[in-house]
């Protein structure tokens, strides 16, 4: 699978371009301020982007939706329970003292697991609330194969977990999403978080201090 990751100031939030080597179809996950670099990667790999998929609607994950959508012409998907955050992106910016442009309407809400297909790959969507009500994780892999790569947004980080002090956040809900959804994946599953370095399910299961107390 083609995988490109970009992150820029001020949030150092990871944006992703995923692509199928054979068909050159791809998806973009969480386009934020690093969207120009994501678009460059799309072009370098000659990808045709089928979907823009959002893990959740905190501003750092959505400030580039408008730019990505107009450059790529792909529909934007979100979990419905994060609509209130998505629609308040300008106010979210004000909380951080940032001027943020309103973003275009999302094109569809996730209904069920999917998959949302790009070439020989699919992205399966799992609702993992707690960091925010409409948080999802995307499990990406080839159809017919078991191996999945997880894109977890801000639900789980290498050695940490998502904050739950923002509107709609809840710690018990977050812990249960991690234990009942993410930890159902095998130890070797690679996890890409919304911020910081990748990890694996096994490593977090064994060493994450927030899940072992
Ligand atoms: Zn977030
Ligand atoms: Zn974030």
CA of 154 to the centre of ligand 2 (A): 6
Q: With a cut of 90, say whether residue 5 has pLDDT above it.
A: yes
Residues β-bridged to residue 123 = 116, 140
Cα 127–87–153 angle (5° rounding)? 35
pLDDT digits (tens, 9 = 90+) for 89-104: 999 999 999 999 999 9
Q: Which ligand is nearest to the CA of 155?
A: 1
Which residues keep their CB under 5 angstroms from ion ligand 2? 13, 60, 154, 194
- Cα–Cα dist 147/56, whole Å: 24
CA of 116 to the centre of ligand 2 (A): 22
Which pTM does this prediction carry? 0.97
pLDDT digits (tens, 9 = 90+) for 38-80: 999 999 999 999 999 999 999 999 999 999 999 999 999 999 9
Q: Which ligand is nearest to the CA of 33?
A: 2
User: Average of pLDDT values for 3-21?
Assistant: 97
Query: What does the pLDDT read at residue 15?
Result: 98
């Amino acid at each position: 699978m083609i995988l490109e990751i970009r992150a820029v100031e001020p949030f150092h939030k990871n944006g992703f371009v995923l692509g199928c080597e054979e068909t050159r179809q791809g998806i973009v996950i969480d386009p934020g301020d690093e969207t120009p670099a994501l678009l460059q990667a799309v072009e370098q790999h000659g990808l045709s982007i089928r979907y823009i998929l959002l893990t959740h609607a905190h501003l750092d994950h959505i400030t580039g939706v408008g730019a990505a959508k107009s450059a790529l012409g792909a529909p934007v998907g979100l979990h419905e329970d994060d609509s209130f955050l998505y629609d308040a992106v300008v106010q979210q910016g004000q909380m951080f003292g940032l001027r943020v442009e309103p973003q275009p309407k999302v094109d569809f809400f996730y209904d069920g697991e999917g998959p949302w297909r790009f070439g020989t790959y699919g992205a399966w969507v799992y609702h993992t609330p707690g960091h925010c009500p409409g948080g999802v994780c995307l499990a990406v892999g080839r159809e017919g194969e078991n191996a999945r790569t997880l894109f977890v947004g801000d639900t789980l980080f290498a050695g940490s977990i998502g904050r739950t002090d923002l509107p709609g956040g809840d710690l018990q809900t977050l812990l249960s999403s991690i234990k009942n959804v993410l930890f159902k994946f095998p130890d070797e599953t690679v996890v890409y978080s919304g911020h910081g370095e990748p990890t694996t399910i096994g490593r977090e299961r064994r060493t994450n201090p927030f899940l072992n107390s």
